[in-house]
Amino acid sequence: MHGDTLTHDLFAEIVKIPLIDPHSHIDPHRPTAKSLDDLLGYHYYTELAHSAGLPKTALAAEVPARNRVAAILGHMDRFDNTAQYAWFIDIARTYLGFQGNRVNAGDAEFLFEAAERTFAQPNWEEQVLRQSNIEKVFLTNDFDDPLTGFDTNRYVPCLRTDDLVFHLQKQAVRDRLARATGIEIGAAADLRRALASLFSHFVSHGAKACAISLPPNFSPAAVSDNDLSAALGDAAGSELLSRGVFWLLAECCQEFKLPFDLMAGVNRRVYCEGVFQGQDLFDQRTSLIQYAELFNAFPQVPFCISVLSSAQNQELASYSWIFPNVVTSGHWWYSNIPVYIENDLRGRLQAVPKTKQIGYYSDMYKLEFGLPKYNMYRRILAKVLANDFVRSGMTDEAGAVALARQILRDNIRRIFDV
């Protein structure tokens, strides 16, 4: 906090805002960690440990959980400078009774036992949500998820469509689609019906968004039904098929009134030998102008855009300032680092209507990460509000807190209708 009273006071008010987390990978049937392995298995830790020298074999599924955990902890002093390390320390101190500022292999036993004990408490899920001040969490559901057996009011379904857009040439995906909808895909018309069926299923189960991650060179465009039908039958037509399916999804978003979350810019499997979920990287040579046709074609669909670099964030701030249907969304993945969050947040707060900004989402796999990730963001938000808004005279403290509430809660409620 830099001993700055104003920032401190703003942070204290901001943490009181009940959060709606508009993007996570929470499994609603198993939302919290069961062990330290569930925490340190988060790809941020496995990939940083691997990047710092830990062989992938030490992380394999057949390695006992205690050994896997000890291996990662034993490498943590190689990346104890990182933001991700700070999240873990926050968790260890808040939830596991850890007292120090540094962890190493010697702490494995204590932390492992503390985690077993703590996470086994019957009301652990409630405790975590209360302590994080998180009210609702959006999910990332496969298109063939039955969406049953959990409270969709707390865990809001969200239709994830990467498989449909990028892997529909695979028979396995078509089989899943056929099982989920009862429709075998022969031509474009079948696809339309199948997607409508998915949207219908999702909306009727409380889904509030459609989402996808997109490679840097993706450029959406309408595809004629004839071309789409042809692409469905042609293994070489996958690029056209991707564009066509994507466009149909946007049409469904319009028809079913769902916002479309676009996470733009990631190439998959760049580091082929990387750990699970630790293989993807971006290419800065990408532009939101690739989406201009889309934004023009669907003025009623809110597109909530996440980007991976500060350079593209400057584009995003400009596109959201001009296009009524472009919303800035969170700080994603490689951009979810304090120096980039601060810069990107300042650009958005100074240039984009405040009603069109989704401040943050956790992207978490386990609820325990909500607290440290949102805390990182809230600290930066408090600092930016203090310097750029209160000290500059733009507003007073109450106005700054209201602005925080707008981007952390009110906009999410309005845009996603929750």
Q: Give the x/- contact pattern for a second copy in 58-87, rule: CB under 8 A.
A: --------------------xxxxxx--x-
Give 200 or 318: the residue with its C-beta nearer to a second copy.
318
- What is the nearest approach in angstroms of a second copy to the Cβ of residue 346? 4
Q: Does 267 bind a second copy (CB under 8 A)?
A: yes
- What is the nearest approach in angstroms of a second copy to the Cβ of residue 384? 9
Distance of alpha carbon 399 from alpha carbon 213, whole angstroms: 34
Q: Does 273 bind a second copy (CB under 8 A)?
A: yes
The candidate with the shortest Cα–Cα distance to 135, out of 158, 155, 119, 157, is: 155
Q: Are 361 and 24 in contact (CB under 8 A)?
A: yes
Q: Does 182 bind a second copy (CB under 8 A)?
A: no
Distance of alpha carbon 180 from alpha carbon 202, whole angstroms: 11
Place of tokens 């104890």: 80
The candidate with the shortest Cα–Cα distance to 28, out of 112, 162, 142, is: 142
Give 241 or 308: the residue with its C-beta nearer to a second copy.
308
Distance of alpha carbon 378 from alpha carbon 276, whole angstroms: 29
The residues, any chain, with a CB within 8 Å of residue 282's CB and separated by 6 or more, are 216, 265, 266, 267, 308, 309, 334
Q: Which of residues 276-315 bind a second copy (CB under 8 A)?
A: 278-289, 292, 295-296, 299, 308-312, 314-315
The one among 52, 120, 189, 398 contacting a second copy by CB under 8 A: 52
Q: Does 352 bind a second copy (CB under 8 A)?
A: yes
Give 31 or 274: the residue with its C-beta nearer to a second copy.
274
- What is the nearest approach in angstroms of a second copy to the Cβ of residue 111? 19
- What is the nearest approach in angstroms of a second copy to the Cβ of residue 315? 5
Element (H, E) at 266: strand 266-267
Q: Does 101 bind a second copy (CB under 8 A)?
A: yes
Element (H, E) at 303: strand 303-306
The one among 65, 254, 321, 405 contacting a second copy by CB under 8 A: 321
Q: Does 191 bind a second copy (CB under 8 A)?
A: no
